[in-house]
Amino acid sequence: MSDIKENVVTFAKQFLPYYRFIRPPESTIDSSHVLPTQLNSDSIKVLNWNIAKNNFEKFWFKDFLKLQRECQPDLIFLQEVRMGLGVEQIVGFHNMSWAYAPNFIDAHHQTYSGILTAAKISAIAKKVIVTKHHEPLFKTPKVSLFTEYSLSHHRETLLTINSHLINFVDLDKFKAQLQELELAISTHTGPIIFAGDFNTWSRKRALLLEKTVMRLGLKEAHFAPDESKKIKRFLLSPPLDYIFYRGLKEKRSSAKVFDEIFSSDHKPLLAEFTYDHI
């Protein structure tokens, strides 16, 4: 295994010069529309998906339009989204407001890479947390995007966190990202949705994540056993993708993993929630 790792590092140094991947100057790139100002508390449909940088491909766009048409999600959390430099709109979100948090610019392809949160309403607040540590080969950080939304007939707001956790680093660096996220999330008193690709490909990583969400009072969206087994794993590892929540009620029968989608090696996850607090 060590020989393989050394060969990969040698290849990267030869063919992927350090200056190819640049930290972008923007924390977020945003697109807002004239939309309703509040989410419907009776039904909040959440779609979470690592799209593996395939959103420039026609086969991915076909899958994405199908998901939008069939599921009609209120909130969409995507990881590994590409966006062209100077482009003001990402195709597929013309009827939604979105915030895009890039973690690097690929100077060779003239594209951003990052995470995107889209909603049927406009966010009232946004925040980006960038990891202090970088992944080893490309020397790039990971980002998490916090967005806050109004709920219909309620004073409390919904905080959402779209996160892609750091990979190819030791456990302490993975833990450091979780600790920073936990600190930021813990200040919110209202309902929360925390979703993304958590890169929990080892039991130790999964346990750290489990302890973090437990301290925050978050629950894991429930997928029936036949659905859960479809979620992306690395060999026999725990799942990599999750939707966590707090202060909401889950419509369990609606949780679904779309295993007929092949435009990414991750499968889209769908969950539906309601909110009836006064």
How far is the C-alpha of 153 from the C-alpha of 40, rounded, in Å? 9
How far is the C-alpha of 30 from the C-alpha of 254, rounded, in Å? 30
Predicted pLDDT of residue 95: 83
Q: Give the model confidence (pLDDT) of 250-276 as tens digits.
A: 997 889 999 999 999 999 999 999 997
| Domain positions in the chain | 2-274
- Name the packing angle between helices 203-215 and 171-185 (round to 10°): 20
CATH class of the structural domain 2-274: alpha beta
Percent of the chain with pLDDT over 70: 89
How far is the C-alpha of 265 from the C-alpha of 164, rounded, in Å? 15
Q: DSSP letter at 135?
A: B
Predicted pLDDT of residue 179: 98
Percent of the chain with pLDDT over 90: 71
List alpha helices for 16-126, DSSP H: 58-71
**Residue 121: phi, psi to the nearest 5?**
-130, 170
pTM to 2 decimals?
A: 0.90
- Read off the pLDDT band of 2 (50, 70, 90): very low
Q: Give the model confidence (pLDDT) of 149-158 as tens digits.
A: 999 878 899 9
Length of the chain, in residues: 278
Predicted pLDDT of residue 86: 75
Q: Give the model confidence (pLDDT) of 206-240 as tens digits.
A: 999 999 999 999 999 999 999 999 999 998 899 99
Q: Give the model confidence (pLDDT) of 120-162 as tens digits.
A: 999 999 999 999 999 997 889 999 999 999 998 788 999 999 9
> Which are the contacts of 32, defined by CB distance < 8 A and separation ≥ 6?
97, 122
